[in-house]
Structure 1
Amino acid sequence: MGTNEAIEALTSSLGQRVSRSKSDLEMHGASETHFAPMPPDAVVYPDCTAQVAEVIRICAAHRCPVIGWGTGTSLEGHALAARGGVTVDFRDMNRILDIRADDMDVRVQPGVTREALNTELRATGLFFPVDPGANASLGGMAATRASGTTAVRYGTMRDHVLGLEVVTATGEVIRTGTRARKSSSGYDLTALFVGSEGTLGLITELTLRLHGQPEAIAAAVCAFDDVAGAVAATNDAIQLGLPMARIELLDRASVAAVNAYAGSDMPEVPHLLLEFHGTEAGVRETSETFGEVAAGHGGRDFEWATRPEDRSALWAMRHNAFYAILASRPGTRSLVTDACVPISRLAETIKATQEDFAHHNLTGPILGHVGDGNFHAVLLFDENDTGAVTRAHEAAHRLVERTLDMGGTATGEHGIGMGKMRYMAREHGGGWDMMGQIKRALDPDGIMNPGKLVPPGN
C-alpha cells in the first residue's frame, strides 16, 4: 500500500485540511473502551462531498485504507485504524441543509449530532427520536444502525433513514432512496449502507424521517425486588399495547453506581425508568395502567416527573450511567458489550449473566432497553491484572454465546466493528460469506475500513 504517497497527494490537494499532528493521530486512534490505541497515519477534515470524493479517489489510487469518523463514541472499535491509513473526520460537515416541516423530514450532513438537530427543530414542532445516549453524529449513527432508549416506540436508525448520499470505494458519488415514505423500486441500497460501518463507502448526506413533538410527556422511576419482576412488568405492558416511549432497566449495581455519581438516593434494587408520550389524557391513562401492571410484579416507590427539567435530570442520570459505573472503580478499564434476545428470554438471560459474573468474581453492572430485549454489561477490570483481563473477555464471550443460544443476536445496537466479528459465522452462517462477496464487489481493493464487520481478507 502507498499510504505515504496517498498522504502526500492529499496534502497537495487539500492543504491544511490534512493533519499528521501527534494529538490528532492519538485522538483518532483511541477508543472509549478496552481496545488498544490504533492511530491512523493522517486525518482529513473535509467540508463538502467533493472533498470526500477526492480523498477516496486518491486513497483508492494508492490502495490506502480509509476510515470514517463521526464523534468517536462507537464501542466495538469501528473507527480505529486497524491497518493504518487515513481517517476522514466529518467534524466540518455539520450543516443542517433543509428542514421540510410539511413532509416531516430533514436533510443533513453526516457531522450533525442528534442534539444539534433537535435544538434546531424545536421551533418546528418536530423532533428526531433516535437516542443512543451519547451525542453521536447522525452519519455515525446511520453507519452503525444505532438505536437507544426510544427504540421501543420509535424504532432505530433503520426506520428513520429515507435516503443517503454516499461516496463509494472508487470515489463515485451516488444517492439512494427518495423522500417518499415507501418504495418498491429495486434493491434497497439505503438499507445496505445503513449498518455497513463504513466498509462499503462514506455517508456524506442523510435524509431523515421526523416525528411530531408529543403534546404531553411523563417520566417515572419504579423500584422492583428483582430483575425478573421488572422484566415481567415490561412484558405485560407491551402485550397490553401500552404506548411506552422509553423503558429502561438499571440493575442493583448500576443503581448503586448512579447514586454515588449523581447524588441520588434510589433504593439499591433494580429499577425501571419509563417515559410515556401522547395526549394529556392518554399519558395519564397509560401511566395509571402501567402502575397497576407494575404493582402486580412487586413494583413500588413510583416517582413521577412531568416538568421538563425533572425529566431531563432523570434521563441525564440514565445516559451518564456508563460514566457512573466507571467512576465506581477509579483506575479501571471497561469492556462494554451488548446483547439482544427475544423479550420472553430476557429475564433468564440477565439472571444467568449475573450469576456468571459473580461466579468469576467480576464487576459487571447491567442496564438496558428492556422494551426490546436489549441490554448492556459494563465489565470493569484492572488492565495491569492479566487474570482479570482474561476473565472479563471470557465472560463477555460467554454472554454472547448464551445470547445466541437464546435465539438472540450478538449485538442489538453497538454493532460488530472488530470486537464481535468472531460471532458472525455462527449468527449468520452463509450470510456472512455473502456479506464478504458484497464487500468485494463494491470495494475490490478492500480500502474501506478494513478489518471490520466482514470475513477476514475482504
Structure 2
Amino acid sequence: MKISTVNIVEALTKILKNEQVTINETVRELHGRDESYHAARLPDIVVFPESTEDVSKVMIVSKEYQVPVIPFGLGSSLEGHVIPSKGGITIDFSLMNKIIEVRENDFLVKVQPGVTRTQLNKELKKHGLFFTVDPGADATLGGMAATNASGTTTVKYGVMRDQVRDLEVVMADGTIIHTGNMAAKSASGLHLNGLFVGSEGTLGCFTELTLRVYGIPEHVTAARASFATVNDAVEAVVSILQAGIPIARVELVDEPSIKQANLYSETNYKEKPTLFLEFHGNEAGLKQDVDFTKEIVKDHHCEDIEFETDNAGRNRLWEARHNLAYAFIHGYPGKKMMVTDVCLPISELAGAVEHARETVESLDLTGGIVGHVGDGNFHVLLMMDMNNAEELAKADELNERIVMYALERGGTCTGEHGVGIGKQKYQEREHGAALLVMEKIKKALDPDNLLNPNKNVKMD
C-alpha cells in the first residue's frame, strides 16, 4: 500500500469513525464501476459519511492531500460517471438516506442524497403524494440530480432539474452552500440549481435536496397501441401532443424489443412497433382524453390498442417496459449491454429512429430501440461481446452515427444518461465556444480538479 494512501487513511480516521473508512478490496471493487460498458478502476479509499459535516471534513482532507473525490450513489449510471479514473476517495452516500421533512401543503420534500426513488415514494404515499422522475432504475435522488435524470414521466412532469428547489452542496474546499430556496420562483441571483443539477459530481457534493412532489392522480389508465411502422407511431405521438392531451407517459418500443419483452416477461404483445401510454387525471377528463387518443391513433394507422385500468394490468405493462434491459441481457448470456442515448426535436425523431435501426442492421449488430418519444429521447440497447474487437468497433461506429445524426438536426448527444466518460468526445461539437465557459466555471469552483476529474467537463 502506498505511503500516501496510509497518510490519507490516517487523516480520515481522525475525523470519521474507523468503520466509515475502508480500503477493503471487495468494497473498492463495488465502487470501481457503474452499469456502463466502460472499464472499471478501483478507488484507493471508500468513505461512508453520516452528515454534511462529515462530507465537508473529507473535502478538506482531499484538498490537503490533493486526492480526487468521487461521489457515489448506487452505481446505476450508464456513462462511467462514478469510475475513479485517477483513483482517490469515493464518497458513498448510502448512510445519508433520511427523508428529513415532507411539507405536504407546499408539495415539497427535503431528503438526504442516499434516499432512493422507491423509498421516497413509499413515504410520500402516506400523504397522497408522489415523486415523478422515473428513470427505471431505483437510483438515489442525489445521483439522479447529479445526472439530471428523467425517464418515462418527463413528457408531463419534466426532468430532475425541474423538480429541484434547493440543494445543499459541499464545495471543493469544504464550504457548505445552498443553491436555492423553497419558493416556487425567484428572480434573485444566478440560477445555481440549474448549474449544479447535471454537473455529475464535478462541481460539488450534494448533501441535501429539496424537491417538488405532486398529488397522486385520482385515476390512471394505461394503454398499448401497435402500428405498422415506427413513423406511424411517432407521428401519432406528435398529434397527441398537438391536441393538448396531458399524457403522462408515452414510450416507443420497437419490434425486436417487443419480441424480447415477450420472452422475458411472458407477455404476448403483438410484435410490432408499439406505444406504451399512460394518462393521469380525474374520471371525466380521463375518459375524454382516452376517447380522443383512440381517434388520433386510428388516423395514424394504429393496428390495435388495448387499455389497462386496473393496477395489475398497468404494473405488468410498465414492468415489461422497465425490464427491457434485463430482457436483452437475459436473452444474450455472456454479452454486455451498451446503451446509447440521444435526444432530438420531436419532429426529427421518426427519421432518427429509422436511421438508427438501419444502422444497427447494416453493421450486423444485435439490439432494440426504445424511446421516451414524448420528449424526443431514444436509446439503442446493444448486446456486445466485450472480447470481440470488431464488434466493439462497430458499436462505437453506431454510437457515432446516431450522435452525429442528432447533432446535425439540433439535438443533443445525451438526453438523460449524461456525459461521464462516454460522451466527452462530443462536447466540443455540440457546445462550441460555450464549452470554454463550462471549463472556466469548473476551474473557478474546483481549481485543483479534485471533484470527479475527467468527467463531464475536463480540465486536463
Place the TM-score, normalised by the shorter chain, in its bin: over 0.9
Question: For 1:33 and 1:390, how far apart are their aligned partners in 2?
Answer: 16
- 1:339 counterpart residue number: 342
Matched, 1:174 2:189: no
- Aligned match of 1:13: 15
In structure 1, the residue matched to 2:331 is 328
Native 8 Å contact 1:257 1:325 kept in 2: yes
- The answer (yes or no) to whether the contact 2:132–2:157 under 8 Å persists in 1 is yes
- RMSD (CA atoms): 1.1
Task: Provide the aligned length of Structure 1 versus Structure 2.
Answer: 457
Structure 2 residue 22 is matched with structure 1 residue 24: no
SS at 2:43 equivalent: coil
Which residue identity lines up with residue 69 of structure 2 in the other structure? V
Residue 125 of structure 1 is matched in structure 2 by: 128
- Give matches, 1:212-227, under 5 Å: 212-227=215-230
Is 1:388 the counterpart of 2:391 in the alignment?
A: yes
Counterpart code for 2:423:
K
Write the distance in 1 (CA, Å) between the matches of 2:179 and 2:376: 31
**Partner secondary structure for residue 367 of structure 2:** coil
- SS where residue 162 of structure 1 aligns? strand
* Residues 53, 171 of structure 1: 8 Å contact kept: yes
Q: Is 1:147 aligned to residue 150 of structure 2?
A: yes
User: Percent identity among equivalent residues?
Assistant: 48
**Where do 5+ consecutive residues of structure 2 fail to align?**
none
Match of 1:190 in 2: 193
| 2:209 counterpart SS class | strand
Q: Find the residue that maps to 1:177 and give its secondary structure.
A: coil
**SS of 2:105 mapped into structure 1:** helix
Equivalent residue in structure 2 for 1:310, among 313, 332, 335 = 313
Choose from 28, 41, 44 the match for 2:44.
41
* Counterpart selection for 1:267 from 266, 270, 273: 270
Which residue does the alignment assign to 1:410? 413
Residue 367 of structure 1 aligns with which residue?
Answer: 370
Q: Deviations for 1:259-304, whole angstroms, at most 9, x for unmatched residues?
A: 1100111111111000000110111111111111111112132221
Which range is displaced more, 400-409 or 10-19?
10-19
Q: Deviation per CA, 1:48-68, whole angstroms, max 9, x where unpaired?
A: 111111111101111100000
**Alpha-carbon offset, residue 326 of structure 1:** 1.5
State the one-letter code of the partner of 2:133. Answer: V
Match of 2:244 in 1: 241
Contact 1:45 1:89 in 2 (8 A): yes
Deviations 1:155-205 (A, max 9, x none): 001110000100000011111211000001101111111011000100000
Deviation at 1:391, TM superposition (A): 0.6
Shift of residue 103, structure 1, vs aligned partner: 0.6
- CA offsets per residue over residues 304-353 of structure 1, 9 Å max, x none? 11112221221111111111111221111121110000000000011011
1:186 corresponds to which letter in structure 2? G
Contact 2:449 2:459 in 1 (8 A): no
The residue matched to 2:241 in structure 1 has which SS?
helix
Report the equivalent of 1:453: 456
The 8 Å contact of residues 3 and 63 in structure 1, kept in 2 or not, is answered as no
| Letter of the 1:445 counterpart | D
Is the CA contact (8 Å cut-off) linking 2:406 and 2:413 kept in structure 1? yes
Secondary structure at 1:84's aligned position in 2?
coil
One-letter code aligned to 2:388: D
Which residue number corresponds to residue 348 of structure 1? Answer: 351
Of the three residues 102, 110, 114, the one matched with 1:111 is 114
More moved, 26-35 vs 351-360: 26-35
Report the CA distance between 1:12 and its aligned residue. 3.2
**Match among 436, 439, 442 for residue 445 of structure 2:** 442
User: Could you say if the C-alpha distance between residues 301 and 185 of structure 1 is closer, same or farther in structure 2, counting changes exceeding 3 Å?
Assistant: same
CA offsets, 1:25-48, max 9 Å, x none? 111112222111111111111111
**Secondary structure at the residue paired with 2:211?**
strand
SS in 2 for 1:409: coil
Whole-angstrom distance in 1 between the partners of 2:202 and 2:225 = 42
Letter of the aligned partner of 1:422 in structure 2?
K
CA distance in 2, matches of 1:98, 1:33: 34
Contact 1:224 1:299 in 2 (8 A): yes
Alignment-derived partner of residue 54 in structure 1: 57
| Amino acid in structure 1 at the alignment position of 2:44 | D
- The Cα shift of 1:455 comes to 3.1
In terms of mean alpha carbon deviation, does 339-348 or 13-22 score higher? 13-22
Q: In 2 relative to 1, CA 4–191 (structure 1 residues): closer, same or farther, beyond 3 Å?
A: farther
Q: CA deviation at 1:368?
A: 1.1
Does the aligned pair in 2 maintain the 1:165–1:206 contact within 8 Å? yes
